[in-house]
Amino acid sequence: MTFLLRRALFYLVTLWAAITVNFLLPRLLPGDPVQAMITKLGGRLNSDAMASLYVLFGLDENKSIWEQYLEYWGSLFRGDLGLSFTFFPTPVADVLAQSMPWTLGLVGVTTIIAFLLGTLLGVYAGWKRGSWMDNLIPVTTFLSSIPYFWLGLIAISLFSVTWPLLPAAGGYAPGLVPEFSGEFIGSVLEHAILPGVTIIVSSVAGWILGMRNMMVTVTAEDYVLVARAKGLTQKRIMFAYAARNAVLPSISGFALSLGFIVGGALLVEMVFSYPGLGYVLFQGIGGKDYPLMQGVFLVITLAVLVANLLADIGYLLLDPRTRKEG
């Protein structure tokens, strides 16, 4: 119990630090978003309107940075992340709520699939080392060494242009209304195939390689020899004795990669114009949209913290040696 309390305190302090940095970062960036907006609107605003824009965006120059900081915390607790400049006047919270499911659905699910698939292939490759499975590794490593945007563009040019089998961009067919219908869900799945498969192809090699190497190390351990001498079935030895020990390093890697789902989505969603958080962040940076960037960074921070917490819990469950006595 004290262990969990200590962890909880640690996460709270980290969260506070992350949010504070998050508050400061956009204010340290050069440029002025209101100025950019005024330019965009082409001088159709009078000075009163400009002043009210500054107040609206929380960039009131008459307030000290401390007052701004306190207000920032106050509005955070109310769930108010300000208004987005890029999607003016939609609140940032709404923009995030709309784009988050897309990112989680695409990058989250494919990250999990890549981990499970890669780990399973790695288990077999390590268990049956020296067999044909070993030829798999150079192939997957080659695929993962291709820069992601290049892989994505090749996939688009092959499967949407040369052979127009799959859509190249978007989260669903234009003209459809998001709703719970067979047609809409089918369209979402169809649009997810290309980005999803490219993510898996480019990330699966890491899991295979890591797992295979750990399996090779672990199968040399005495307890695997004991398991064979005990006459256990191959399946039991492979999973409960070898893989169960070999998977531990992969678990922490997996938790970290869960934390990077949101951040890592940027490239994928740019290439495929996918309506997720990464694409929103990309647009936000282009428009010097401080509130939106802060919102996305906040989500990334939270995701990393939650992933770390999951890794802690996963380790507790899988490795008895990390459990505290009593």
When the beta carbons of 131 and 145 are compared against another protein, the nearer one is 131
> Of 40 and 323, which CB lies nearer to another protein in the complex structure?
323
Which residues lie across from 83 on neighbouring strands?
A: 91
CA–CA separation, 205 vs 27, rounded Å?
40
* Region of 70-78, 94-102, 154-162, 223-231 interacting with another protein (CB under 8 A): 223-231
The region of 13-21, 44-52, 57-65, 231-239 touching another protein under the rule CB under 8 A is 231-239
Orientation angle between helical segments 136-145 and 182-219, nearest 10 degrees: 120
Asked if 319 touches another protein (CB under 8 A), the answer is yes
Name which position in 229, 286, 324, 326 contacts another protein (CB under 8 A): 229
Does the footprint of another protein cover residue 226 (CB under 8 A)? yes
Q: 3-state SS of the chain? A: CHHHHHHHHHHHHHHHHHHHHHHHHHHHCCCCHHHHHHHHHCCCCCHHHHHHHHHHCCCCCCCCHHHHHHHHHHHHHCCCCCECCCCCCCEHHHHHHHHHHHHHHHHHHHHHHHHHHHHHHHHHHHHCCCCHHHHHHHHHHHHHHCCHHHHHHHHHHHHHHHCCCCCCCCCCCCCCCCCCCHHHHHHHHHHHHHHHHHHHHHHHHHHHHHHHHHHHHHHCCHHHHHHHHCCCCHHHHHHHHHHHHHCHHHHHHHHHHHHCHHHHHHHHHHHCCCCCHHHHHHHHHHCCCHHHHHHHHHHHHHHHHHHHHHHHHHHHHHCHHHCCCC
When asked if residue 231 is in the footprint of another protein (CB under 8 A), the reply is yes
The residue from 228, 256, 273, 313 that contacts another protein (CB under 8 A) is 228
From the CB of 178, what's the least distance to another protein, in Å? 45
Residue of 197, 190, 215, 195 whose CA lies nearest to 113: 197
Residue 65 touching another protein (CB under 8 A): no
Judged by CB under 8 A, the residue of 49, 139, 225, 256 near another protein is 225
Nearer Cβ to another protein (27/128): 128
Q: Check residue 27 for interaction with another protein (CB under 8 A).
A: no
Binding mask 238-267 for another protein (x = CB under 8 A): --xx--xx--x-------------------
**Which range binds another protein by CB under 8 A, 120-128, 168-176, 178-186, 230-238?**
230-238
Total residues contacting another protein (rule CB under 8 A)?
24
Instruction: Select 145 or 322, whichever has its Cβ closest to another protein.
Output: 322
Position among 223, 256, 273, 313 found at the interface with another protein (CB under 8 A): 223
Contacts of 324 (CB under 8 A, 6+ apart): 3
Which residue, 131 or 157, has its beta carbon nearer to another protein? 131
Residue 59 corresponds to which tokens in the numbers above?
A: 């960039």
Per CB under 8 A, does 32 bind another protein? no
Q: Which of 67, 230, 256, 273 binds another protein (CB under 8 A)?
A: 230
Q: Does 233 bind another protein (CB under 8 A)?
A: yes
Q: Which is nearer to another protein, 204 or 251 (CB)?
A: 251
Q: By the criterion CB under 8 A, which residues form the site for another protein?
A: 130, 221-223, 225-233, 236, 240-241, 244-245, 248, 318-321, 325
